[in-house]
Amino acid sequence: MDVFGDMFRSVRAQGSLFGSSTVTAPWALRFVDGAPLTLCTVLEGSGWILPEGLPPEHLTAGETLILRGPAPFSFVDEIGTAAEPIECGESCATPDQGGTRHRLGWHDAAPGDSEHATTLVTGAYPVRGEIGRQLLDAVPDVLRIAGDGTVDAVRALLAAEVAVDAPGQQIVLDRLLDWMLVCSLRDWFDRPGGNPPAWYTAHRDPVVGHALKLLHEQPAAPWTVSSLARRAGVSRATFAKRFADLVGEPPLTFLTRRRMMIAADLMRERRTATLAEIAHEVGYSDAFGFSAAFKRVRGVNPTEFRRELV
């Protein structure tokens, strides 16, 4: 698995469709769930996204906005709307409150009003763990996605699924939102003049990209600079310089930092696992060497880190 794909293992929609309805003005929806990452896409019509503390963003049909949380934001028909705001969170738009066609408290479009209506789909993402947070750190507070062929195709599938209430619909919508999030961020990272993180651009390099794939797939393997260079098909000196130039740090420094991120996530997820078990899973033969490396990278030893999780 590549670096980008690995980060999405902990960034997944799970029943996170907070808004999907055809509405007519006036409306004011306030999303208060505090999600670290939220994707908003307008399928038809238009409206305004009002992020707290940031300039308003106008969204029209076919446009997508990604917002970093946890600050709340609003979606309104117009700035200064007369509509009373309706709070939307985890209990606002679940299937047991009417599926995707009717949301609690929304002003639904009447027959014949469709040409003046707006349909918004909003997916909120819990970003769990250290690895997923790397992705969050690479995203600005507000990211506008113009869309391309793939993004537009996913949006069309979303529109078709939103229009019906069918068994398994929430799962389908979750997976489509995941697909759209991945495509949207990839489109943003790849656009000319963009500023993607080093770990994203480095994966395109035939030498460093291959090494990164190995380090992500087998972080516990006993890698050395020489063994990585051999697998990449270049000399040790060439590999070490190329990796540091593209990634921003030496290969073994990158590996150690990645191992400690994995270890931190394991300690969060498996509270009863021993330090020896965690150490073995991230490539250390004993808890002592692992603890020393963890403190060097994180500033606290694993025992102190676990104590802070309680």
User: CA–CA distance from 22 to each of 43, 114, 172, 308 (Å)?
Assistant: 9, 8, 19, 45
The dihedrals phi and psi of 250, each to the nearest 5 degrees, come to -65, 155
DSSP letter at 109 equals: P
Which pLDDT score, from 0 to 100, does residue 103 have? 40
Number of other CB atoms surrounding residue 5 within 10 Å? 12
Q: Does domain 3-190 have CATH number 2.60.120.280?
A: yes
Q: Give 63's pLDDT tier (boundaries 50, 70, 90).
A: confident
**pLDDT for 143:** 87
Task: Say whether pLDDT at 93 is over 60.
Answer: no
Where do runs of H (alpha helix) occur along the chain? Answer: 3-7, 129-137, 149-162, 169-190, 198-202, 208-217, 225-232, 236-247, 251-269, 275-281, 287-298, 302-309
Using pLDDT thresholds of 50, 70 and 90, give the confidence band for residue 89. Answer: low
Sheet holding 142-145, edge to edge: 17-23, 118-125, 37-44, 64-68, 142-145
pLDDT at site 254? 95
Give per-residue pLDDT as tens, 256-307. 999 999 999 899 888 889 999 999 999 999 999 999 999 999 999 999 999 8
Structure tokens at 73: 């934001």
201-309 adopts what CATH topology?
A: Arc Repressor Mutant, subunit A (1.10.10)
Q: Tell me, yes or no, if the pTM score tops 0.95.
A: no
Q: What is the structure's pLDDT at 295?
A: 95
Q: How far apart are CA 148 and CA 92, in angstroms?
A: 31
Residue of higher predicted confidence among 89 and 165: 165
Whether the per-residue pLDDT at 58 is higher than 90: the answer is: yes
User: Would you kindly state where each structural domain of the chain is located, as residue ranges?
Assistant: 3-190, 201-309
The CA distance from 204 to 127, in Å, is 25
Structure tokens at 22: 């055809």
What's the pLDDT score for residue 84? 85
- What is the pLDDT, as a whole number, of residue 225? 97
Give 209-253 pLDDT, tens digit per residue: 999 999 999 999 999 999 999 999 999 999 999 999 999 999 999
User: What is the rounded average pLDDT of the residues 168-189?
Assistant: 81
Q: Mean pLDDT over residues 165-179, rounded?
A: 79
Q: What pLDDT digit, counting tens, does each position of 3-13 carry?
A: 677 767 666 66
